[in-house]
Amino acid sequence: FSVTLNAYFIVKWRDTRVIVTDNFNQSLHQDNSQPLTALNLAILKDLWMPDVEIRNLQSFQTHTILSKLEGFWVDDEQNLMHALASRITFICPMRFNSFPMDVQVCTFQVGSFNYAMDKLIFTDEFIPTKE
């Protein structure tokens, strides 16, 4: 069986080689955090990015309207953030031994393909929506 979710897949990392000199576009603010400056997506090809692997991935699709829905930002402390509107489908092994009273737990696992777990550390961050 598989699970499909529509989500903003966001990856954040710090790169001390990035020099931030002018914070001209402070349109995106998060509470108690540095203001973020939007960057041109063309810069992505020149930067190091974490090699993200989604375990048990079945499909990963990006949402597009006129172009791919994604953004790239940096703050004054050299923290980078890449966000991508996506539809993610991953495989979730299920057992129905206690059907119809069974309970299924599916874990969304993200890691690195090339780096050891102590070199690239992934954490989850749940951002609840206001209703």
Q: Is the separation of the CB atoms in 54 and 90 below 8 Å?
A: yes
Question: How far is residue 123's CA from residue 84's CA, in Å, rounded to a whole number?
Answer: 17
Question: How far is residue 75's CA from residue 45's CA, in Å, rounded to a whole number?
Answer: 19
| Average confidence score pLDDT of the chain | 83
Q: Is the separation of the CB atoms in 36 and 74 below 8 Å?
A: yes
Per-residue pLDDT tens digits for 36-93: 888 889 888 998 988 899 999 999 999 988 888 999 998 888 899 999 999 999 999 8
Which of 14, 36, 34 has the alpha carbon at shortest distance from 25?
36
Instruction: Read off the pLDDT band of 16 (50, 70, 90).
Output: confident
Question: How far is residue 57's CA from residue 3's CA, in Å, rounded to a whole number?
Answer: 10
Query: Model pTM?
Result: 0.77
Question: How far is residue 91's CA from residue 56's CA, in Å, rounded to a whole number?
Answer: 5
Question: How far is residue 63's CA from residue 40's CA, in Å, rounded to a whole number?
Answer: 18
Angle at 84 between CA 56 and CA 46, to 5 degrees: 100
Which residue's entry shows tokens 């810069």?
Answer: 43
